[in-house]
Structure 1
Amino acid sequence: MTQTETETVPVTATPVGAQTYAEIVQFYSHHMQLLDNAEAEEWADGFTEDGVFAQNVKPAPTSGRSTIAASMRRGVDRLKNRNVVRRHWLSMVVADQVDAAQVHTRYYAVVFETPVGGKASVYLSTTGKDVLVREDGRWRIKYREINHDGA
């Protein structure tokens, strides 16, 4: 292997233990179901008070739990007005331990969209990266970066 090839090999991180991984997957499952049920404020409670939500399709990140909640509320209300149901399918979660109170995750997410009386279709495919922190005995998102495929 040449020096150039060595530099492109990712550094091996420390995966979280089984208990922590189960907690994170449970957190994500609950988090996405809140969003799919149009519970924007409860969904946003999954972020720290100063949390950040960045997407490659928006010019600037959304910062602060209340601002993230307001932005998501507008989004879920638009869907209700269109009579569309969305389901977020999050999978392939990789979780690396930074320290006892912080984990970095990477995952894939597919969003399905179904118009009332219609057929489900894939609306969006993304990759995500989160910085999760322990806060008040639970996981919360300190920083989220979502990259829409094809954008």
Structure 2
Amino acid sequence: MIRTATSGCLDRTHRRPKCCRRSLEVRWSIAVTPTRVRFEPSVAACGHAGRSRTATEGRRTVSVGIDHPNFEKIYAEVQQFYARHIQLMDEGRAEEAALTFAEEAFMLSPPKIAEPIRGRAELGARLREAADTLRAEGVRYRRCHTMMTVEPQPDGRLFVRAYVQVVRTRGGESVLHAMCVCEDVLVREDGELKVRERVVTRDDCS
């Protein structure tokens, strides 16, 4: 049986995290045509010293790319990538999971990750720490990555948006831990897909 549970979130009056000068500001824009709605992430440095600016700004779009000549092949490749990527994380294989991120990757997931994690090495260390903690507590996570949209870009990047359902199991009980929107930018390194940018937004903390 799966039941829902709540976990700690930021107070609603502090729902958007602040970033420091060296953090990243992640902005999104929507370009609408009669046939498509586009998801266009961009990254910029934060403001002047002493100023705090919002680390995340609302992004609620639908991405489509079915007009791309190789869309079916790309979509299948992306599905296979996420199946491997997420299973590695769920199985606690942190070092292998880290290799599915680009060398200069960053990840943001407020409120738990309110400041971006930067670089593959740091991501790998954080994944290892999380895997060891879960193992010690006897907890297993399963992430279900669904409702995925993929938009190929002229420069080869892929904008991917999906729903992620996180199920937490301890002992004989499975609990719906979180519902999230995961928005990634994928790139190729040595011909293989890697996560370059990731922003995860929890429904109960957005």
Task: Give the letter aligned to residue 189 of structure 2.
Answer: E
Quote how far apart the aligned CAs of 1:28 are: 0.3
Quote how far apart the aligned CAs of 1:59 are: 2.4
Where does structure 2 lack aligned partners over 5 or more consecutive residues? 1-29, 39-63
Percent of pairs with identical residues: 29
Task: Give the letter aligned to residue 193 of structure 2.
Answer: W
User: Does residue 82 of structure 1 match 2:142?
Assistant: no
1:140 equivalent in structure 2: 194
Deviations 1:40-86 (A, max 9, x none): 11111111100001112122100000100101111111110110111
Inter-partner Cα distance in structure 2 for 1:101 and 1:136: 13
Number of aligned residues:
143
Task: Give the letter aligned to residue 59 of structure 1.
Answer: A
Task: Give the letter aligned to residue 137 of structure 2.
Answer: R
Choose which of 119, 131, 135 in structure 2 pairs with 1:64: 119
Task: Give the letter aligned to residue 30 of structure 1.
Answer: R
User: Does residue 21 of structure 1 match 2:75?
Assistant: yes
Deviations 1:91-124 (A, max 9, x none): 11100011252110000001111113x1111111
Counterpart of 1:59 in 2: which secondary structure?
Answer: strand
Alignment of 1:111-122 (within 5 A): 111-116=166-171, 118-122=172-176
Inter-partner Cα distance in structure 1 for 2:141 and 2:82: 16
Counterpart of 2:107 in 1: which secondary structure?
Answer: strand
- Structure 1's 137 and 9: CA in aligned 2 closer, same or farther, altered over 3 A? closer
Inter-partner Cα distance in structure 2 for 1:23 and 1:94: 13
Considering only aligned residues, what root-mean-square deviation do their CA atoms show, in Å? 1.6
User: Does residue 106 of structure 1 match 2:106?
Assistant: no
Where does structure 1 lack aligned partners over 5 or more consecutive residues? 1-7
Larger proportion of helix: 1
Counterpart of 1:150 in 2: which secondary structure?
Answer: helix
1:127 equivalent in structure 2: 181
2:11 equivalent in structure 1: none
